A and B are shown apart, each in its own frame.
Chain A
Amino acid sequence: MMRMPGHRANPLRQPRTEVSEIPAVEGLDLVLAAENVRRQGGDPTRFASALSAGFAEGVPSERTDVFALVSLAGWRAGALTLREDALVRAETIIEPAVRSAATRVLDIRSDLHSFLQKQSTDRYWWPDRAKYNGIVCAIGGFAGVGGSWIAPPTEALPLAEAGAFGIRTDDEWWRADLDVWGVRLVRLSAPPTEDPDAAGSVSIILEENSYLAVLHVEATP
């Protein structure tokens, strides 16, 4: 089980890339893009390292390909709100070299096509999930050490929208939106409405006295 908030798909120790180290692309302010990724809940340094990996063998000549890689890098960095845009743009990449760059951006050991296919039906999928016994991420954490909650979570409900859960901590309800790379937590003013059919093979695991809520996906036979 995880002991700190975070996503299993993100390596625990990764060489840090500063935003200032992103290769320059004429006409695009990638430092501003990194700042906006941060505002969307993503990690700007992860955005920088993803994009640097994508541009390692050169910046694509087609503008649409550059935008697709930037969008994928933002999503990969945890900006959940970029998910739909990134998936749509990734489908438009044709050039093999750019497709290869996209897999470097996403840091996945599979080809882009099969990853996109899996993601279209399972937003929590990445090639190594089975290795971690279906554990995708841990969210929340104690506010005193930089987490979100001041009381351990005691109840979790699946909500109607894909990737959404309601989580109760003491007398507060939170909405968690999740996928393979990102999480967005907001405090709710009223208890959310449960949709029991929405969860499927996905569950939120809560442990007594733990401030973490762990997302688990049951292995499909």
Chain B
Amino acid sequence: MSDRWHKVSASPTAPGVDGRPTSISVDDLFHTAEPAGADLDEKLRQAYYWIVNRAVISPYYDIEFSSASPVTFDVGDAGAQLTLPTEASFSSSVLLPLLSFAVGGKCLLIGGPGRGKTTVAVLMGVLAGSSSGEVRRSVQQGQPQLTISDLVGIPLPRDLMAASRLSEINIAWREWLTRPVKIIDEYNRIPTKTQSALLTMIAEGYVESHDQMWRTNPESGVESWFFTANDDAGGGTFPVIQALKDRMDVTVQAAGFNSRFFDELVTRVEAGEKPEEHVPVELVFGSDEQVEIRRQIRAVPIPSQVRRRLEFFFSHFEFVQHGGRRFEYRTKDTVTTAGGRVAEAIEANSGADLAADLGAQTINGLSVRALQTLILYSKAMAWFRGTTEVSLSDVAAVLPFVLRGKLQPNLSHPRFDVGAERELATDPASWLSDLFTESCRQFVGLGLDHDDPVRALLAQLEAGLDGLSAVEVSRRITEVESGIRLIASTGKLYGHHFDDLTTLKYLHQRYTAYLRWVQPSP
């Protein structure tokens, strides 16, 4: 076996604990005293570095982390900038699939043919403990004739003949259904009906055929899905149904080949080797380790200051001024579900500053599912980097990949139509990244990091109503009304105002209901 594959980082990739080493005895080698997963983040980092340095040749560091000002170079004459980050940075086309494997998520890998999309997905399958042959065999190739039976299995012909009712028909379920890593190649070539069956599998964790049900979760309960497509704009043999698209937790663009690594390619061709056949055994994760990783990731806390910026970011997108007549109905969803065009409703709003109104750059709002995914992947990123809590950098790093395809750009907005900004129309990751940066800038500009009256009022309510006097409640109602009056007095309305006003109305309802209870009318 060639030794060149078996180089795993020997030193810790991100140590975080101080102190001197504690001696152990040989007896300790035979105990599992150390809880499974005490150093799983280190193992995942080693897996990452093995993949980028040995397996897929990906010298791209597009997920950047810097604690100080990074050095930047202006290159070319079209505004391109090359940044040298000050902290360990990562390649999205490997890291996001790896985080999807860690959280049990669904990852869509997009890009032209021969860019390593399927290889990365197969590597995830091998990391989960299957052999490379098993993983390759269980890859489902999307093609226009793919039926539900091809995908899930067939009813046994003997039972079809003899059965008097559906429940008597046994199904020969396909083996891939219960693998911890499931790979669907070229999912945009699958017929619409089969896509719907796939959606049930992904969304509900089971498949149905002839009234029989089969759970697709592996024994550990952690399953991750990898889809590949060479188009993300509605192309392919069949358009992908929106509900299936929405289930993709992250969308990642596969990186192209860097010509400077041609020698390595020649070596591989000469040796006839495939990286997935050489995954070091020490990088394989057992099912208990996969469960433990997910538990640890979910336990990473998101501090208050990060939550506040995230909630401010989310607040921009649902509201549209001319979306409806009643205040609560002035949303993009109202327009879309009624068959209207959100871009036209945005265009009609002459009162707001389009440059400041981040919500005007999108034609939809964010789903709760997308927000949950963003929370989970931010935690995964922090855990992967070996930090104790989620930072704004972790959120900013995963946000473009989570929201790609979910937050749709309003291409008639000046943002996508002026000079160099046109580039953003075809580069959703950079646009989403800019959107988050601008939102954080506005958050600081509005002074919300140290003075957020609506948050303070919510915190008051969350402390409980028990024992509050009628006088105190009346004082709070006045405070709520003055908050509403303050926003109304500005004359302009943006997304974050919409959420604040809705919240203030909610507070008003809660307090007035309480007041009616403590102060019954005579």
Task: Answer yes or no: are A and B bound together in one complex.
Answer: yes
B165 lies within 8 A of chain A by Cβ: no
Choose among B15, B30, B87, B89 the residue that contacts A29 (Cβ–Cβ < 8 A): B30
A131 lies within 8 A of chain B by Cβ: no
A141 lies within 8 A of chain B by Cβ: yes
Interface residues of B in 41-81 (CB under 8 A from A): 46, 49-50, 53, 61
Interface residues of B in 5-22 (CB under 8 A from A): 6-22
Question: With A33-B29, A81-B22 in contact, do A148 and B34 touch (Cβ < 8 Å)?
Answer: no
B281 lies within 8 A of chain A by Cβ: yes
Name B42's closest neighbour in chain A (CB-CB). A39
Which one, A93-101, A117-125, A178-186, is touching chain B?
A178-186
Question: With A148-B12, A150-B86 in contact, do A175 and B18 touch (Cβ < 8 Å)?
Answer: yes
CB<8 Å pairs between A and B, sample of 20 = A32-B29, A36-B31, A71-B25, A71-B29, A81-B23, A81-B24, A139-B11, A140-B11, A143-B14, A144-B61, A146-B49, A148-B11, A174-B15, A175-B20, A184-B21, A185-B11, A185-B12, A185-B15, A186-B17, A187-B18
Chain A min CB distance to B159 (Å): 41
CA distance A145 to B15 in the complex (A): 16
B282 lies within 8 A of chain A by Cβ: yes
CA distance A81 to B27 in the complex (A): 13
Chain A min CB distance to B288 (Å): 12
A82 lies within 8 A of chain B by Cβ: yes
B39 lies within 8 A of chain A by Cβ: yes
A203 lies within 8 A of chain B by Cβ: no
CA distance A175 to B8 in the complex (A): 21
A74 lies within 8 A of chain B by Cβ: yes
Chain A min CB distance to B21 (Å): 5
Choose among B19, B24, B49 the residue that contacts A82 (Cβ–Cβ < 8 A): B24
Q: Are B24 and A33 in contact (CB under 8 A)?
A: no
Chain B residues with CB under 8 Å of A82's CB are 23-26, 29
CA distance A151 to B3 in the complex (A): 29
Chain B residues with CB under 8 Å of A29's CB are 30
Interface residues of A in 53-70 (CB under 8 A from B): 67-68, 70
Q: Are A183 and B11 in contact (CB under 8 A)?
A: yes
Q: Which 3 A-B pairs have the closest CB atoms?
A: A71-B26, A33-B29, A146-B9
CA distance A151 to B31 in the complex (A): 37
Name B19's closest neighbour in chain A (CB-CB). A186
Q: Are B20 and A164 in contact (CB under 8 A)?
A: yes
Contact with B along A149-183 (1 / 0, CB 8 A): 01100000000010010000010001101000001
Chain A residues with CB under 8 Å of B39's CB are 39
The residue among B21, B30, B31, B86 with the most chain A CB atoms within 10 A of its own CB is: B21
B28 lies within 8 A of chain A by Cβ: yes
Number of A-B residue pairs, CB cutoff 8 Å, is 122
Contact with B along A63-93 (1 / 0, CB 8 A): 0000110110010001011111110010000
Chain B residues with CB under 8 Å of A3's CB are none
Q: Are B282 and A38 in contact (CB under 8 A)?
A: yes
Give the size range of A's interface with the partner: 35 or more
Chain A residues with CB under 8 Å of B281's CB are 18-20
Choose among A16, A71, A147 the residue that contacts B1 (Cβ–Cβ < 8 A): A16
Chain A residues with CB under 8 Å of B25's CB are 71, 82, 85
Choose among A32, A68, A74, A170 the residue that contacts B32 (Cβ–Cβ < 8 A): A32
CA distance A151 to B25 in the complex (A): 35
Chain A min CB distance to B292 (Å): 14
Chain A contacts to B: CB under 8 angstroms: 5-6, 13-14, 16, 18-20, 28-29, 32-33, 35-41, 43-45, 67-68, 70-71, 74, 78, 80-86, 89, 139-141, 143-148, 150-151, 161, 164, 170, 174-175, 177, 183-189
CA distance A183 to B49 in the complex (A): 19
Q: Are B3 and A13 in contact (CB under 8 A)?
A: yes
CA distance A41 to B50 in the complex (A): 17
Question: With A40-B24, A81-B23 in contact, do A147 and B11 touch (Cβ < 8 Å)?
Answer: yes
The residue among B26, B46, B87 with the most chain A CB atoms within 10 A of its own CB is: B26
Chain B residues with CB under 8 Å of A84's CB are 23
The residue among B27, B29, B38 with the most chain A CB atoms within 10 A of its own CB is: B29
Name A68's closest neighbour in chain B (CB-CB). B26
Choose among A32, A68, A150 the residue that contacts B30 (Cβ–Cβ < 8 A): A32
Q: Are B282 and A148 in contact (CB under 8 A)?
A: no
Chain A residues with CB under 8 Å of B282's CB are 19, 35, 38, 44-45
Chain B residues with CB under 8 Å of A145's CB are 49, 53
CA distance A99 to B439 in the complex (A): 69
Chain A residues with CB under 8 Å of B22's CB are 81
Name B6's closest neighbour in chain A (CB-CB). A16
Chain B residues with CB under 8 Å of A147's CB are 9, 11
Q: Are A177 and B21 in contact (CB under 8 A)?
A: yes
Chain B min CB distance to A29 (Å): 6
B88 lies within 8 A of chain A by Cβ: yes
Choose among B1, B13, B28 the residue that contacts A146 (Cβ–Cβ < 8 A): B13
Name B86's closest neighbour in chain A (CB-CB). A150
Contact with A along B250-287 (1 / 0, CB 8 A): 00000000000000000000000000000011100000
CA distance A83 to B22 in the complex (A): 11
Chain B min CB distance to A57 (Å): 21
Chain B min CB distance to A119 (Å): 15
Chain A residues with CB under 8 Å of B9's CB are 146-147
Choose among B11, B17, B23, B30 the residue that contacts A85 (Cβ–Cβ < 8 A): B23
Chain B min CB distance to A60 (Å): 14
Q: Are A74 and B88 in contact (CB under 8 A)?
A: no
Q: Are B20 and A6 in contact (CB under 8 A)?
A: no
Chain B residues with CB under 8 Å of A28's CB are 30
Choose among A20, A74, A187 the residue that contacts B15 (Cβ–Cβ < 8 A): A187
Chain B residues with CB under 8 Å of A40's CB are 24
Name B46's closest neighbour in chain A (CB-CB). A146
